[in-house]
Amino acid sequence: METDQSAEQRAQVELHSLRLPDGPPLPVSILSETEKNRAAAFRSCAARRLFVGGRILCRNIIGNLVGSAPQALSVAITASGRPYLRDYPDIDFNLSHTRDRIVLAICRGGRIGIDIERLDAFSEKEAGEIMPMILSELELNQVHQLDTRHRHEAFLACWVQKEAALKCFGQGFLADPQSVILMPGKTTFSFESQVSGEPIFIRSGRIGGEETGDFQWAIATSKAAAKPQWQHHKNGIFL
């Protein structure tokens, strides 16, 4: 359900994606000492690469947005582990990744959460096992009425929408995903979160093609926002 908010009242949202190229370890020169220490603590090289790549993307894009050198940005962490900009309280951002793809959502005038998954993120068996833990009884009944192919697509759409919504409020799947009630098939709507009692607005869709791969994505904002456009950055542009 779209709202009648004027353009001045709507949140301003930017979406960016970056595919990490194969190669040597990513440079950490623009990261803070805390971020460097956190990166070094990852046992998995893949997880370390995604963390560093996310911070590089974040610092370059937001630094350019506010007119700051990437390394000069002060990126703090909430008690629940969510990064935020200490010096720019009017700007919220959120990161997500899947395999070699990192996405960044930036919002002025409200909070934002983002999630992205590859279309083949779950096998049919895995989706069948996970659905009862993620979907409400109403959502589960609606999904089960679909044929097998559309059932998997509907579940993946619900997954990214729920995670984006919970990340918007700084909790992610630490909170109960069944507290976010969705309508499969809708791409733009609002509802009141049972987590916080506040309204939340969701947009969902796909990006795909030879250049970007095939992904399901969703953003959730605390204020209605105009439809954002993706900016896909070339491999290694910031690295």
205-218: pLDDT as tens digits: 998 755 555 899 99
For the ranges 22-26, 93-97, 136-140, the maximum mean pLDDT occurs at 93-97
* Domain residue ranges of the chain, discontinuous segments joined by +: 12-233
Check pLDDT > 80 for residue 239: no
Give the DSSP per-residue string, 54-101.
HHHHHHHHHHHHHT--GGG--EEE-TTS-EEETT-TTEEEEEEEETTE
Q: What per-residue confidence (pLDDT) applies to 149?
A: 76
Check pLDDT > 60 for residue 47: yes
Distance between alpha carbon 17 and the CA centroid of its chain, in Å?
11
What's the token pair of residue 154?
């509907």
- Element (H or E) spanning 45, and its range? helix 45-66
pLDDT digits (tens, 9 = 90+) for 118-169: 988 888 889 889 898 888 888 888 888 988 778 888 889 888 998 898 888 8
**Closest by Cα among 126, 182, 130, 123 to 158:** 182
Check pLDDT > 60 for residue 39: yes
Q: What per-residue confidence (pLDDT) applies to 3?
A: 46
- Beta pairing, strands 83-85 & 188-192: unpaired
Sign of CA dihedral 202, 224, 16, 84: negative
Least confident of 40-49, 52-61, 144-153: 144-153
> With bands split at pLDDT 50, 70 and 90, how would you rate the model's confidence at 5?
low
Distance CA 44, CA 35 (A): 16
Check pLDDT > 70 for residue 56: yes
Q: What per-residue confidence (pLDDT) applies to 1?
A: 42
- Percentage of the chain lying above the pLDDT 70 cut: 82
Q: Which fold has domain 12-233?
A: Ribosomal Protein L22; Chain A (3.90.470)
Distance CA 238, CA 17 (A): 12
Check pLDDT > 80 for residue 174: no
Q: What per-residue confidence (pLDDT) applies to 150?
A: 86
Q: What per-residue confidence (pLDDT) applies to 158?
A: 87
- Beta pairing, strands 101-108 & 91-98: antiparallel
Q: What per-residue confidence (pLDDT) applies to 59?
A: 96
